[in-house]
Structure formats: C-alpha cells, structure tokens
Amino acid sequence: MPTATKKGNSYALIIILLVIIFGYSHWYRFCFNLFFIGYNWLGDMRLATVFFAVFLRLVLLPFRFGNRHFEHKIKEAEAREATLSQVSDPVIRKARQRELLQRFKPAINFMWFDFCFFAMNAYVIHKLFVTHFTPDIVLPRLYHFVQIPDFPLITTSFIPLVGRVIDLTKRSQILDVYASCGAAITGLFEIVLHKKYTKRDLLLYLVLYPGVAFNMNWFVRGGFTWTLICFEVLTVVMIILEKVWEVVSSRLKASRAESGSLKGYL
C-alpha cells in the first residue's frame, strides 16, 4: 500500500475489519453447512471437500474479478506516488498525496477487505477440520434444511494424488508437500500467462506463497491441506481461462477495428 494511503483512510479500514470480525460466525456456519451438504450428497469426506472447494471458489469469484480490476489501480497509485516524492514543496506534495488517496480509495478499501476476508476464510477452513464431528457439536450448527449425517463420520479417504489413505482430520506431511508444490506451480502459471516478471512478483509467487503454504501446513489438518490443493487446481484452471478470454477478446477487438477501418476506406 502506498505511504500516502496510511493517513486519512484509517476509519474505513477499521470499519472493514470490524465487519469481517462480526461476520466471521455467519461465514463459518455457512461453510460448515456447505461442507455437510457435500458430505451427505457424496458420502465421502474427500469428495465432500472437493465439492466444498469448487462451490466456495464459485462464490468467491467476484473477489477474483475485483482483484484483477483493482490490482492495476494499486500499481498505478504506487507509480504515481513515486513521482510525488520528487516534489520539493511539502505543501504541494501533501496536497497531491491527498488527491491521490481520494482517487484510489475504492481500490485500497477493496484490497484491504479482500485480504481480511481471505485471512478469515483460511481460519474458517482450518477450524472446520479441527472440529470433533460428534452429534452434540455438529447438530446445533446445521441449518434446518440440511440432512443430518450418519455418525460416526467417515474421515479417512483414499487420495489418488498421493496414492494412500489419509485421515483428513489429522495432519498429513505428504499433502503438505503437494500443497507447497501446487502453490509454486500456481505461481508459475500466474507469472508466465500474465507476464508478471518483476522482482517483487517473482519473489511473491515463487518464494513467499509456496513458503507460506508449506510452513502453514505444519499447523493444520489434512482436510485444510486437501482443500488448499483443490483451490490451487481451480486457480490454475481460472488463470488459463482468463488468458484464453484475454486472447479471444483482443482478437475480436482487433477484427472489429479492422472491419471498421475497411468500411471507412470503402
């Protein structure tokens, strides 16, 4: 975040944080019930986790579209702030910084909301799989329209990716390795297809994200890690689709421009 944004926008950022904190319990219950809808339908915790990840990714699509849109705004703000540091007059510099903040405030607020929400979402998924799936814990959290599952729940499943049976309520080292590799592969697709070759992007996608994924997985259960792997696969698919759409739309625009110029010529 540019340094110019550190003042004058604190109230909005605090309000966003409070909204996330107070909305946590509702989001947790929604995710809890979504998971059990998948479990009742598929009868398997592994497939229920895949269902949960796919549905949740679809629900969170607006965040991704907003992220793509505002990402360019933030980079533009950072570039403009770099030029403001060359202004010698402090009064003029501060006035321009306030103008810059006002112009890019929606982008800043959205990126902060996006960060807070996804941090909360990660904690919700972690909490979901550390829950003891007993009737006295599960039943009070289910919506009235969600079918009551058969107890005890089947928490062990064969994961084809690793070729062994995994208890998703316990930690799995092999899934940790796959999750960190998946984060690196996802970052590689993001770098290559969206041409993010800056030093910061390379460190972010190839070092920071895989490192965070690997170290974080030392403290979470297999269900969280399996959900993360599903998210990574879905993210790669979305990156590819975004690139395909970008190429197709650019060619359509070029063909329209060409046809328009031909009409003008005729």
Q: For 43-68, give the DSSP string.
A: S-HHHHHHHHHHHHHHHTHHHHHHHH
Helix (H) or strand (E) holding 79: helix 61-84
pTM: 0.78
Question: What does the pLDDT read at residue 261?
Answer: 60
List C-alpha distances in Å: 123 to 16, 28, 102, 170, 203: 17, 9, 32, 16, 24
pLDDT of residue 9: 61
What pLDDT does residue 84 have?
A: 63
The pLDDT of residue 180 is 87
CA pair distance 242, 151, nearest whole angstrom: 42
Neighbours of 207 (CB within 10 A): 12
Q: What are the residue ranges in the chain where pLDDT is below 50?
A: 1-8
**What is the structure's pLDDT at 1?**
45
Residue type at 107 in one-letter notation:
A
pLDDT of residue 24: 92
Task: Give the residue extent of every domain in the chain.
Answer: 1-154, 155-266
Q: Average pLDDT of the chain? A: 81
CA dist 23 and 30 (Å) reads 11
